[in-house]
């Protein structure tokens, strides 16, 4: 099975050709990094979006739970990941409570 080449200086990235917008990775992320977004060209009308890459803690949950091998996380030796913060947790809660989508008017907690 082929995987995408790792883009430089990127904590997490997606092969959108494989993503079927199932929400599972969004649900699994502890740090509010992932969200679904509206995508009219996609069969399901939605697509995964990486909304807060700077909050990624490199836990690998998204990569582990994706049934379609569509999302990838950088190696720990190649990327300096963030620590889990209250602001990240609050963003994740807002995403889950809004049907796996970051609310358009979301304001970051401090
Ligand atoms: S590696 Fe962890 S923190 Fe980063 S996007 Fe995936 S689930 Fe979220
Ligand atoms: S788990 Fe995989 S297929 Fe499902 S939304 Fe995430 S990247 Fe897409």
Q: Choose among 80, 54, 71, 63: nearest CA to 16.
A: 71
**Residue 6: pLDDT band by 50, 70, 90 thresholds?**
confident
Is the model more confident about 44 or about 106?
A: 106
Q: Flag whether 30 is in a domain.
A: yes
List all residues whose CB is within 6 A of at least one atom of ligand 2: 14, 19-25, 48, 66, 68, 70-71
CATH code of residue 59: 3.30.70.20
Q: Flag whether 57 is in a domain.
A: yes
Q: Flag whether 27 is in a domain.
A: yes
Query: What pLDDT does 33 receive?
Result: 98
Query: What pLDDT does 8 receive?
Result: 85
Q: Say how many domains are in the chain.
A: 1
- Find the mean pLDDT for residues 75-96: 97
Q: Flag whether 44 is in a domain.
A: yes
Q: Flag whether 73 is in a domain.
A: yes
Q: Flag whether 104 is in a domain.
A: no
53 lines ligand 1 (CB under 6 A): no
Residue 38 belongs to domain spanning? 12-97
Quote the mean pLDDT of the chain: 93
The answer, yes or no, to whether residue 56 has pLDDT greater than 80, is yes
């Amino acid at each position: 099975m082929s995987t995408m080449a790792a883009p430089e200086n990127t904590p997490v990235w997606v092969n959108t050709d494989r993503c079927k917008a199932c929400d599972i990775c969004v649900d699994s992320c502890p740090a509010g990094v992932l969200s679904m977004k509206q995508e009219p060209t996609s069969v399901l009308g939605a697509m995964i979006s990486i909304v807060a890459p700077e909050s990624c803690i490199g836990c690998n949950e998204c990569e582990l739970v994706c049934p379609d091998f569509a999302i990838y996380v950088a190696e720990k030796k190649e990327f300096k990941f963030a620590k889990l913060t209250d602001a990240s947790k609050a963003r994740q809660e807002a995403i889950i409570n809004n049907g796996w989508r970051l609310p358009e008017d979301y304001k970051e907690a401090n």
